[in-house]
Structure 1
Amino acid sequence: MEYQPIATIHNDFPTKFGLPRQSGLSEHLISQIIMEEPYRNADAFRGIEAFEYLWLIWCFDNMGKREWSPTVRPPKLGGNKRMGVFATRSPNRPNPIGLTRVKLLKAELNTPKGPVLTVGGADLMDGTLILDIKPYLPYADSVPDAAAGEYGPQYQQLLEVQIPDEVAALFTEEQLSALKEALSFDPRPGYQSDPDRVYGFRYGSFDVRFKVVDQKAIVTEAVPLSK
Protein backbone atom coordinates (compact mmCIF):
# COMPACT_ATOMS: atom_id res chain seq x y z
CA MET A 1 0.00 0.00 0.00
CA GLU A 2 1.49 3.33 -1.05
CA TYR A 3 0.37 6.90 -0.47
CA GLN A 4 1.47 10.00 -2.35
CA PRO A 5 2.08 13.22 -0.35
CA ILE A 6 -0.08 16.01 -1.75
CA ALA A 7 1.55 19.01 -0.06
CA THR A 8 4.23 20.32 2.31
CA ILE A 9 3.64 22.62 5.28
CA HIS A 10 5.98 25.52 6.11
CA ASN A 11 6.28 27.50 9.35
CA ASP A 12 8.77 28.86 11.93
CA PHE A 13 9.40 25.52 13.73
CA PRO A 14 12.09 23.47 11.92
CA THR A 15 12.50 21.09 14.89
CA LYS A 16 9.96 19.32 17.09
CA PHE A 17 11.22 20.70 20.43
CA GLY A 18 9.23 23.83 21.22
CA LEU A 19 6.46 22.92 18.81
CA PRO A 20 2.98 22.82 20.41
CA ARG A 21 2.21 19.20 21.32
CA GLN A 22 -1.39 19.34 20.13
CA SER A 23 -3.14 21.17 17.33
CA GLY A 24 -5.14 24.28 18.11
CA LEU A 25 -3.10 25.27 21.17
CA SER A 26 -1.43 28.10 19.28
CA GLU A 27 -3.65 29.53 16.57
CA HIS A 28 -1.16 32.40 16.27
CA LEU A 29 1.32 29.88 14.84
CA ILE A 30 0.85 30.52 11.13
CA SER A 31 1.73 27.93 8.51
CA GLN A 32 1.41 27.75 4.74
CA ILE A 33 0.44 24.59 2.90
CA ILE A 34 2.07 24.38 -0.54
CA MET A 35 0.69 21.77 -2.91
CA GLU A 36 2.86 19.32 -4.83
CA GLU A 37 2.92 19.68 -8.62
CA PRO A 38 0.26 17.07 -9.56
CA TYR A 39 -2.26 18.62 -7.14
CA ARG A 40 -1.90 22.30 -8.05
CA ASN A 41 -5.42 22.43 -9.37
CA ALA A 42 -7.73 25.18 -8.08
CA ASP A 43 -10.78 23.02 -8.83
CA ALA A 44 -9.70 20.60 -6.09
CA PHE A 45 -10.31 23.40 -3.55
CA ARG A 46 -13.59 24.72 -4.89
CA GLY A 47 -15.78 25.61 -1.88
CA ILE A 48 -13.05 25.26 0.76
CA GLU A 49 -13.42 28.89 1.87
CA ALA A 50 -16.81 27.98 3.39
CA PHE A 51 -15.07 26.02 6.15
CA GLU A 52 -13.44 27.64 9.18
CA TYR A 53 -11.38 24.58 10.18
CA LEU A 54 -9.70 21.72 8.33
CA TRP A 55 -8.28 18.31 9.17
CA LEU A 56 -4.75 17.53 7.98
CA ILE A 57 -3.54 13.95 7.66
CA TRP A 58 0.25 13.89 7.61
CA CYS A 59 3.48 11.89 7.96
CA PHE A 60 5.75 11.68 11.01
CA ASP A 61 8.69 10.88 8.69
CA ASN A 62 10.66 14.09 9.24
CA MET A 63 10.64 13.51 13.02
CA GLY A 64 12.98 10.56 12.50
CA LYS A 65 12.36 6.89 11.84
CA ARG A 66 11.22 5.00 14.93
CA GLU A 67 10.21 1.42 15.51
CA TRP A 68 6.72 1.05 16.86
CA SER A 69 6.26 -0.11 20.43
CA PRO A 70 3.09 -1.47 22.09
CA THR A 71 3.76 0.80 25.08
CA VAL A 72 5.34 4.24 25.30
CA ARG A 73 6.35 6.73 27.98
CA PRO A 74 4.66 10.06 27.12
CA PRO A 75 7.10 12.88 28.07
CA LYS A 76 4.27 15.15 29.18
CA LEU A 77 3.22 12.55 31.76
CA GLY A 78 6.69 12.56 33.30
CA GLY A 79 8.35 9.94 31.12
CA ASN A 80 8.00 7.22 33.77
CA LYS A 81 4.45 6.01 33.22
CA ARG A 82 3.92 3.48 30.42
CA MET A 83 0.75 3.65 28.36
CA GLY A 84 -0.48 1.71 25.36
CA VAL A 85 0.57 3.38 22.12
CA PHE A 86 -3.03 3.45 20.91
CA ALA A 87 -3.98 5.35 24.09
CA THR A 88 -1.50 8.12 23.22
CA ARG A 89 -0.52 10.36 20.32
CA SER A 90 3.07 9.15 20.35
CA PRO A 91 4.89 9.05 16.98
CA ASN A 92 6.10 5.49 17.80
CA ARG A 93 3.25 3.96 15.80
CA PRO A 94 2.87 1.05 13.34
CA ASN A 95 2.12 3.64 10.65
CA PRO A 96 3.73 7.10 10.99
CA ILE A 97 0.51 9.05 10.42
CA GLY A 98 -0.76 12.11 12.32
CA LEU A 99 -4.07 13.97 12.45
CA THR A 100 -4.24 17.72 13.05
CA ARG A 101 -7.02 20.31 13.19
CA VAL A 102 -6.11 23.74 11.84
CA LYS A 103 -7.95 27.02 11.33
CA LEU A 104 -8.21 28.11 7.70
CA LEU A 105 -7.11 31.73 7.57
CA LYS A 106 -6.76 32.20 3.83
CA ALA A 107 -7.18 30.17 0.65
CA GLU A 108 -5.28 31.56 -2.36
CA LEU A 109 -6.11 29.30 -5.27
CA ASN A 110 -4.22 30.95 -8.13
CA THR A 111 -0.71 31.83 -6.94
CA PRO A 112 2.50 31.09 -8.91
CA LYS A 113 2.87 28.04 -6.63
CA GLY A 114 -0.68 26.92 -7.28
CA PRO A 115 -3.26 26.81 -4.44
CA VAL A 116 -1.77 27.93 -1.11
CA LEU A 117 -3.61 27.54 2.20
CA THR A 118 -2.64 29.71 5.17
CA VAL A 119 -3.63 28.03 8.43
CA GLY A 120 -3.29 28.62 12.17
CA GLY A 121 -2.73 26.19 15.02
CA ALA A 122 -0.77 23.39 13.33
CA ASP A 123 1.44 21.17 15.51
CA LEU A 124 3.59 20.18 12.53
CA MET A 125 7.27 20.86 11.88
CA ASP A 126 8.37 22.90 8.91
CA GLY A 127 8.67 20.57 5.91
CA THR A 128 6.12 18.00 7.09
CA LEU A 129 4.44 16.10 4.25
CA ILE A 130 0.64 16.28 4.02
CA LEU A 131 -1.27 13.21 2.86
CA ASP A 132 -4.79 14.64 2.76
CA ILE A 133 -6.94 17.66 3.62
CA LYS A 134 -10.55 17.36 4.78
CA PRO A 135 -13.11 19.86 6.11
CA TYR A 136 -13.79 19.94 9.85
CA LEU A 137 -17.50 19.48 10.66
CA PRO A 138 -18.39 20.74 14.18
CA TYR A 139 -21.63 18.76 14.46
CA ALA A 140 -19.83 15.49 13.74
CA ASP A 141 -16.24 16.09 14.88
CA SER A 142 -16.65 17.87 18.21
CA VAL A 143 -17.49 16.29 21.59
CA PRO A 144 -16.52 19.06 24.07
CA ASP A 145 -17.27 17.09 27.24
CA ALA A 146 -15.62 13.81 26.20
CA ALA A 147 -13.31 12.18 28.75
CA ALA A 148 -9.62 12.71 27.96
CA GLY A 149 -7.79 10.79 30.69
CA GLU A 150 -4.66 12.55 31.91
CA TYR A 151 -4.66 14.77 28.83
CA GLY A 152 -7.74 16.72 29.94
CA PRO A 153 -7.64 20.49 30.54
CA GLN A 154 -7.52 19.99 34.31
CA TYR A 155 -4.00 18.57 33.87
CA GLN A 156 -2.71 21.41 31.71
CA GLN A 157 -0.80 23.91 33.85
CA LEU A 158 0.07 26.96 31.79
CA LEU A 159 3.33 28.79 32.43
CA GLU A 160 3.62 32.53 32.74
CA VAL A 161 5.91 33.74 29.93
CA GLN A 162 8.49 36.51 30.29
CA ILE A 163 10.27 37.80 27.18
CA PRO A 164 12.70 40.75 27.42
CA ASP A 165 11.88 43.75 25.22
CA GLU A 166 15.10 43.38 23.25
CA VAL A 167 14.14 39.81 22.33
CA ALA A 168 10.50 40.63 21.62
CA ALA A 169 11.63 43.31 19.17
CA LEU A 170 13.21 40.63 16.96
CA PHE A 171 9.83 39.14 16.00
CA THR A 172 6.66 40.26 14.30
CA GLU A 173 3.59 40.62 16.52
CA GLU A 174 2.19 37.36 15.15
CA GLN A 175 5.46 35.47 15.68
CA LEU A 176 5.72 36.81 19.21
CA SER A 177 2.17 35.68 20.05
CA ALA A 178 2.89 32.19 18.73
CA LEU A 179 6.16 32.01 20.68
CA LYS A 180 4.42 33.01 23.91
CA GLU A 181 1.73 30.38 23.37
CA ALA A 182 4.30 27.67 22.65
CA LEU A 183 6.25 28.50 25.81
CA SER A 184 3.12 28.74 27.96
CA PHE A 185 2.39 25.04 27.33
CA ASP A 186 5.87 24.11 28.65
CA PRO A 187 7.89 22.41 25.86
CA ARG A 188 10.02 20.49 28.38
CA PRO A 189 9.47 16.77 28.97
CA GLY A 190 7.54 16.23 32.19
CA TYR A 191 10.55 14.63 33.90
CA GLN A 192 12.77 17.73 33.54
CA SER A 193 12.36 20.42 36.20
CA ASP A 194 15.85 21.84 36.85
CA PRO A 195 15.33 25.62 37.30
CA ASP A 196 18.95 26.32 36.36
CA ARG A 197 18.88 24.44 33.07
CA VAL A 198 18.66 26.54 29.91
CA TYR A 199 16.69 25.02 27.05
CA GLY A 200 16.68 26.09 23.44
CA PHE A 201 14.83 25.54 20.19
CA ARG A 202 14.91 26.94 16.69
CA TYR A 203 12.16 29.42 15.92
CA GLY A 204 12.25 31.24 12.61
CA SER A 205 15.81 32.45 12.11
CA PHE A 206 16.71 32.35 15.81
CA ASP A 207 17.72 29.91 18.52
CA VAL A 208 15.40 30.87 21.39
CA ARG A 209 16.78 30.02 24.84
CA PHE A 210 14.74 29.88 28.02
CA LYS A 211 14.53 28.43 31.50
CA VAL A 212 11.57 27.62 33.76
CA VAL A 213 11.52 28.94 37.33
CA ASP A 214 8.47 28.86 39.63
CA GLN A 215 5.99 28.17 36.81
CA LYS A 216 7.47 30.94 34.67
CA ALA A 217 9.09 30.42 31.28
CA ILE A 218 11.79 33.07 31.12
CA VAL A 219 13.41 33.74 27.77
CA THR A 220 17.09 34.55 28.27
CA GLU A 221 18.12 35.32 24.69
CA ALA A 222 17.44 34.74 20.99
CA VAL A 223 20.60 33.97 19.05
CA PRO A 224 20.54 34.51 15.26
CA LEU A 225 21.19 31.31 13.32
CA SER A 226 24.16 31.35 10.99
CA LYS A 227 23.18 31.11 7.32
Structure 2
Amino acid sequence: MSEHFKFQQIGIAHSCYQQKFGIPRQPGLVTEATASIELLPPFNRLDTLDGLEGFSHIWVHFIFHQCMNEKWKAKIRPPRLGGKEKIGIFASRATHRPNPLGLSVVEVKGIRQEGKQVFIDIIGADLLDKTPIVDIKPYLPYADALPHAKGGFAPLATPLTNVNFSELAIDQLKDYKDIYDRDLQPLIEQVIGQDPRPSYLKGSEGREHGNQLWNANIKWVAKANQFWVTEVQFPRSVKDEQVQNAQRLQDCE
Protein backbone atom coordinates (compact mmCIF):
# COMPACT_ATOMS: atom_id res chain seq x y z
CA MET A 1 0.00 0.00 0.00
CA SER A 2 1.41 3.36 -1.02
CA GLU A 3 1.18 6.17 1.53
CA HIS A 4 1.58 9.91 1.03
CA PHE A 5 2.70 12.23 3.80
CA LYS A 6 2.74 15.99 4.12
CA PHE A 7 5.41 17.82 6.12
CA GLN A 8 5.25 21.33 7.51
CA GLN A 9 8.38 23.45 7.14
CA ILE A 10 9.58 24.56 10.58
CA GLY A 11 12.58 26.63 9.55
CA ILE A 12 14.95 27.82 6.87
CA ALA A 13 18.73 27.63 6.68
CA HIS A 14 20.94 30.68 6.21
CA SER A 15 24.26 29.30 5.01
CA CYS A 16 27.60 30.29 3.51
CA TYR A 17 26.87 27.90 0.62
CA GLN A 18 25.11 29.85 -2.12
CA GLN A 19 25.24 27.02 -4.69
CA LYS A 20 25.28 23.21 -4.63
CA PHE A 21 28.77 23.03 -6.10
CA GLY A 22 31.28 23.02 -3.25
CA ILE A 23 29.01 21.83 -0.45
CA PRO A 24 30.87 19.04 1.41
CA ARG A 25 29.40 15.61 0.87
CA GLN A 26 29.00 15.06 4.62
CA PRO A 27 28.36 17.38 7.58
CA GLY A 28 31.16 18.24 10.00
CA LEU A 29 33.93 18.06 7.39
CA VAL A 30 34.13 21.85 6.98
CA THR A 31 34.28 23.18 10.53
CA GLU A 32 34.66 26.75 9.24
CA ALA A 33 31.20 26.53 7.67
CA THR A 34 28.86 28.53 9.87
CA ALA A 35 25.12 28.74 9.34
CA SER A 36 21.91 29.40 11.19
CA ILE A 37 18.45 27.88 11.27
CA GLU A 38 15.68 30.45 11.47
CA LEU A 39 12.49 29.06 12.96
CA LEU A 40 9.35 30.02 11.06
CA PRO A 41 5.91 30.84 12.56
CA PRO A 42 4.34 29.34 14.60
CA PHE A 43 7.57 27.67 15.74
CA ASN A 44 9.58 30.90 16.19
CA ARG A 45 9.31 30.74 19.96
CA LEU A 46 12.14 30.17 22.42
CA ASP A 47 10.03 27.70 24.40
CA THR A 48 10.19 25.30 21.42
CA LEU A 49 13.94 25.08 22.12
CA ASP A 50 13.76 24.96 25.92
CA GLY A 51 16.35 22.41 27.08
CA LEU A 52 18.29 22.32 23.80
CA GLU A 53 21.08 24.40 25.35
CA GLY A 54 22.21 21.25 27.18
CA PHE A 55 23.07 19.48 23.92
CA SER A 56 26.21 20.13 21.90
CA HIS A 57 24.84 18.73 18.62
CA ILE A 58 21.52 18.29 16.84
CA TRP A 59 20.11 16.23 14.02
CA VAL A 60 18.66 18.40 11.26
CA HIS A 61 16.06 16.95 8.90
CA PHE A 62 15.77 18.96 5.71
CA ILE A 63 14.60 18.97 2.09
CA PHE A 64 16.91 18.77 -0.93
CA HIS A 65 14.85 21.57 -2.44
CA GLN A 66 16.96 22.01 -5.58
CA CYS A 67 16.72 18.32 -6.44
CA MET A 68 12.96 17.87 -6.22
CA ASN A 69 12.37 18.04 -9.97
CA GLU A 70 15.15 15.62 -10.86
CA LYS A 71 14.45 11.92 -11.24
CA TRP A 72 16.04 9.34 -8.96
CA LYS A 73 17.78 6.18 -10.19
CA ALA A 74 17.96 2.76 -8.55
CA LYS A 75 21.76 2.72 -8.87
CA ILE A 76 24.16 5.66 -8.75
CA ARG A 77 27.91 6.30 -9.05
CA PRO A 78 29.20 7.73 -5.74
CA PRO A 79 32.16 10.15 -5.91
CA ARG A 80 34.03 8.11 -3.27
CA LEU A 81 34.27 5.26 -5.78
CA GLY A 82 35.61 7.55 -8.47
CA GLY A 83 32.31 7.77 -10.32
CA LYS A 84 33.03 4.39 -11.96
CA GLU A 85 31.26 1.84 -9.76
CA LYS A 86 27.53 1.70 -9.19
CA ILE A 87 25.73 1.07 -5.91
CA GLY A 88 22.08 1.08 -4.87
CA ILE A 89 20.46 4.42 -4.09
CA PHE A 90 19.69 3.28 -0.53
CA ALA A 91 23.36 2.38 0.01
CA SER A 92 24.27 6.00 -0.69
CA ARG A 93 23.67 9.52 0.55
CA ALA A 94 22.93 10.84 -2.92
CA THR A 95 20.77 13.97 -3.03
CA HIS A 96 18.54 12.61 -5.83
CA ARG A 97 16.28 10.28 -3.88
CA PRO A 98 12.72 8.92 -4.12
CA ASN A 99 11.90 11.35 -1.31
CA PRO A 100 14.19 14.42 -1.14
CA LEU A 101 14.93 14.12 2.58
CA GLY A 102 18.32 15.02 4.04
CA LEU A 103 19.73 14.34 7.49
CA SER A 104 22.77 16.01 9.05
CA VAL A 105 24.29 16.21 12.50
CA VAL A 106 25.71 19.66 13.30
CA GLU A 107 27.23 21.43 16.28
CA VAL A 108 25.13 24.00 18.13
CA LYS A 109 26.97 27.28 18.57
CA GLY A 110 24.14 29.14 20.25
CA ILE A 111 20.49 30.12 20.34
CA ARG A 112 19.39 33.71 19.89
CA GLN A 113 16.34 35.88 19.39
CA GLU A 114 16.18 39.05 17.33
CA GLY A 115 12.76 40.66 17.65
CA LYS A 116 10.29 38.00 16.54
CA GLN A 117 12.99 35.91 14.88
CA VAL A 118 14.53 32.90 16.62
CA PHE A 119 17.78 31.37 15.37
CA ILE A 120 19.93 28.33 16.10
CA ASP A 121 23.52 29.08 15.09
CA ILE A 122 25.31 25.94 13.93
CA ILE A 123 28.81 24.81 12.90
CA GLY A 124 29.86 22.29 10.26
CA ALA A 125 26.65 22.41 8.25
CA ASP A 126 26.38 21.00 4.73
CA LEU A 127 23.21 22.97 3.98
CA LEU A 128 22.54 25.06 0.90
CA ASP A 129 21.34 28.57 1.65
CA LYS A 130 17.52 28.71 1.96
CA THR A 131 17.24 24.96 2.60
CA PRO A 132 13.81 24.12 4.11
CA ILE A 133 14.10 22.54 7.57
CA VAL A 134 11.38 20.05 8.59
CA ASP A 135 12.58 18.78 11.97
CA ILE A 136 15.27 19.15 14.65
CA LYS A 137 16.23 16.53 17.23
CA PRO A 138 18.96 16.47 19.89
CA TYR A 139 22.00 14.28 19.22
CA LEU A 140 22.43 11.63 21.93
CA PRO A 141 26.04 10.41 22.21
CA TYR A 142 25.18 7.18 24.03
CA ALA A 143 22.72 6.13 21.32
CA ASP A 144 23.91 7.91 18.17
CA ALA A 145 27.69 7.39 18.42
CA LEU A 146 28.44 3.76 17.55
CA PRO A 147 32.22 3.14 17.76
CA HIS A 148 32.02 -0.34 16.22
CA ALA A 149 29.90 0.66 13.21
CA LYS A 150 31.25 -0.08 9.73
CA GLY A 151 31.63 2.60 7.06
CA GLY A 152 31.24 0.44 3.95
CA PHE A 153 32.94 1.97 0.90
CA ALA A 154 33.58 5.24 2.82
CA PRO A 155 35.20 4.21 6.12
CA LEU A 156 37.29 7.39 6.51
CA ALA A 157 37.11 11.02 5.48
CA THR A 158 39.00 11.96 2.32
CA PRO A 159 42.24 13.88 3.07
CA LEU A 160 42.24 17.55 2.15
CA THR A 161 44.17 18.74 -0.90
CA ASN A 162 46.56 21.66 -0.37
CA VAL A 163 45.06 25.03 -1.33
CA ASN A 164 47.32 27.93 -2.35
CA PHE A 165 46.47 31.59 -2.95
CA SER A 166 47.74 34.01 -5.56
CA GLU A 167 49.01 37.42 -4.43
CA LEU A 168 45.89 38.97 -5.92
CA ALA A 169 43.63 36.60 -3.96
CA ILE A 170 45.53 37.30 -0.71
CA ASP A 171 45.10 41.06 -1.18
CA GLN A 172 41.42 40.59 -2.00
CA LEU A 173 40.88 38.45 1.11
CA LYS A 174 42.42 41.20 3.23
CA ASP A 175 40.08 43.74 1.67
CA TYR A 176 37.11 41.43 2.24
CA LYS A 177 37.98 41.04 5.91
CA ASP A 178 38.30 44.80 6.32
CA ILE A 179 34.91 45.40 4.72
CA TYR A 180 32.86 42.50 6.10
CA ASP A 181 34.79 41.51 9.25
CA ARG A 182 34.91 37.90 8.11
CA ASP A 183 38.02 35.81 7.45
CA LEU A 184 37.21 33.72 4.38
CA GLN A 185 40.56 31.99 3.95
CA PRO A 186 40.04 29.06 6.39
CA LEU A 187 36.60 28.39 4.91
CA ILE A 188 37.99 28.45 1.36
CA GLU A 189 40.81 26.08 2.32
CA GLN A 190 38.38 23.54 3.76
CA VAL A 191 35.73 23.78 1.05
CA ILE A 192 38.05 23.64 -1.97
CA GLY A 193 40.41 21.24 -0.20
CA GLN A 194 37.57 18.67 -0.25
CA ASP A 195 37.88 18.75 -4.08
CA PRO A 196 34.27 19.46 -5.06
CA ARG A 197 34.89 18.65 -8.73
CA PRO A 198 32.73 15.90 -10.28
CA SER A 199 34.52 12.62 -10.86
CA TYR A 200 34.92 13.12 -14.62
CA LEU A 201 37.00 16.27 -13.99
CA LYS A 202 39.32 14.84 -11.33
CA GLY A 203 42.21 14.42 -13.73
CA SER A 204 41.85 17.74 -15.50
CA GLU A 205 44.11 20.70 -14.76
CA GLY A 206 43.99 24.35 -15.68
CA ARG A 207 40.21 24.55 -15.89
CA GLU A 208 38.78 27.45 -13.89
CA HIS A 209 36.16 26.68 -11.25
CA GLY A 210 34.08 28.98 -9.08
CA ASN A 211 32.56 28.63 -5.62
CA GLN A 212 30.06 31.11 -4.21
CA LEU A 213 30.72 31.41 -0.45
CA TRP A 214 28.64 34.01 1.36
CA ASN A 215 28.79 36.99 -1.01
CA ALA A 216 32.18 36.13 -2.55
CA ASN A 217 32.90 34.27 -5.79
CA ILE A 218 36.07 32.20 -5.39
CA LYS A 219 37.93 31.44 -8.62
CA TRP A 220 40.37 28.51 -8.55
CA VAL A 221 42.21 25.97 -10.70
CA ALA A 222 43.85 22.58 -10.19
CA LYS A 223 47.56 22.42 -10.89
CA ALA A 224 50.17 19.75 -10.06
CA ASN A 225 47.89 17.93 -7.59
CA GLN A 226 47.21 21.16 -5.74
CA PHE A 227 44.58 23.88 -5.95
CA TRP A 228 45.28 27.54 -6.60
CA VAL A 229 42.84 30.31 -5.72
CA THR A 230 43.38 32.94 -8.39
CA GLU A 231 40.79 35.57 -7.51
CA VAL A 232 38.16 36.47 -4.91
CA GLN A 233 35.35 38.60 -6.32
CA PHE A 234 32.92 40.41 -4.00
CA PRO A 235 30.95 43.67 -3.61
CA ARG A 236 33.37 46.42 -2.65
CA SER A 237 31.05 48.39 -0.39
CA VAL A 238 28.53 47.67 2.32
CA LYS A 239 26.03 49.62 0.23
CA ASP A 240 26.51 47.15 -2.64
CA GLU A 241 25.90 44.32 -0.19
CA GLN A 242 22.72 45.92 1.14
CA VAL A 243 21.40 46.22 -2.41
CA GLN A 244 22.13 42.53 -3.02
CA ASN A 245 20.45 41.49 0.25
CA ALA A 246 17.35 43.52 -0.64
CA GLN A 247 17.21 41.76 -4.01
CA ARG A 248 17.50 38.34 -2.33
CA LEU A 249 14.59 39.18 -0.01
CA GLN A 250 12.47 40.18 -3.01
CA ASP A 251 13.33 36.90 -4.72
CA CYS A 252 12.11 34.95 -1.66
CA GLU A 253 8.75 36.75 -1.48
Tell me if both proteins adopt one fold, taking TM over 0.5 as the criterion.
Answer: yes
> Structure 1 residues 145 and 210 mapped into 2: Cα distance closer, same or farther (>3 Å)?
farther
How far is 1:117 from its partner?
0.6
Match of 1:3 in 2: 7
Q: Pick closer, same or farther for the CA change 1:113–1:26 going to 2, 3 Å.
A: farther
Give the counterpart of 2:228 among 214, 218, 221: 218
Residues in 1 aligned to 2:183 and 2:233: alpha-carbon distance in whole angstroms? 19
Counterpart CA distance in 2 for 1:134 and 1:7 is 13
After superposition, residues 65-214 of structure 1 pair within 5 angstroms as 65-108=69-112, 110-153=113-156, 156-164=158-166, 165-169=170-174, 170-171=176-177, 172=181, 174-192=183-201, 193-214=203-224
In structure 2, the gaps of 5 or more residues are 245-253
Q: CA deviation at 1:179?
A: 1.9
Q: Distance in 2 between matches of 1:121 and 1:174?
A: 16
Q: CA RMSD in A?
A: 1.8
- AA aligned opposite 2:184: Q
User: Shift of residue 168 of structure 1?
Assistant: 2.8
Detail structure 1 runs of 4+ shifted over 6 Å in the superposition.
Answer: none
Q: Deviations over 1:78-130 (max 9, x none)?
A: 2222110011100121110000011000111x321432110001101000000
In structure 1, give the amino acid aligned to 2:37. Answer: I
Unaligned runs of 5+ in 1: none
Q: Secondary structure at the match of 2:16?
A: coil
Cα shift at 1:4: 0.5
* Alignment equivalent of 2:42, drawn from 38, 44, 49: 38
Q: Quick one: structure 1 residues 83 and 181, their matched pair in 2 at CA, closer, same or farther if it must change by over 3 Å?
A: same
**How many residue pairs are counted as aligned between the two chains?**
225
Aligned-pair identity (%): 31
Asked if the contact 2:173/2:183 (under 8 Å) is kept, the reply is no
* 1:14 equivalent in alignment to 2:18: yes
Larger Rg: 2
Letter in 2 for 1:127: K
Which structure has more relative contact order (CA 8 Å, sep 6+)? It is: 1
1:194-222 CA distance string (max 9 Å, x none): 11111112112121111122332211111
Give the Cα–Cα distance (whole angstroms) in 2 for the partners of residues 212 and 152 of structure 1: 26
Tell whether the 8 Å contact from 1:78 to 1:189 is kept in structure 2 after alignment.
no
Q: CA deviation at 1:145?
A: 4.2
Distance 2:130 2:144 in 1: 27
Q: Aligned with 1:94: secondary structure?
A: coil
**One-letter code aligned to 2:127:** L
Q: Provide the C-alpha distance between the structure 2 equivalents of 1:105 and 1:175, rounded to a whole number of angstroms.
A: 19
Looking at structure 1, the residues matched to 195 and 80 of structure 2 have their Cα atoms a distance apart, in angstroms, of 9
How big is each residue's C-alpha offset from its partner over 1:167-203, in whole Å with a ceiling of 9 and x where there is no partner?
A: 4322455533222111111111222121111111211
Deviation at 1:21, TM superposition (A): 1.3
Q: Which amino acid aligns with 1:195?
A: E
Give SS of 1:191's match: helix
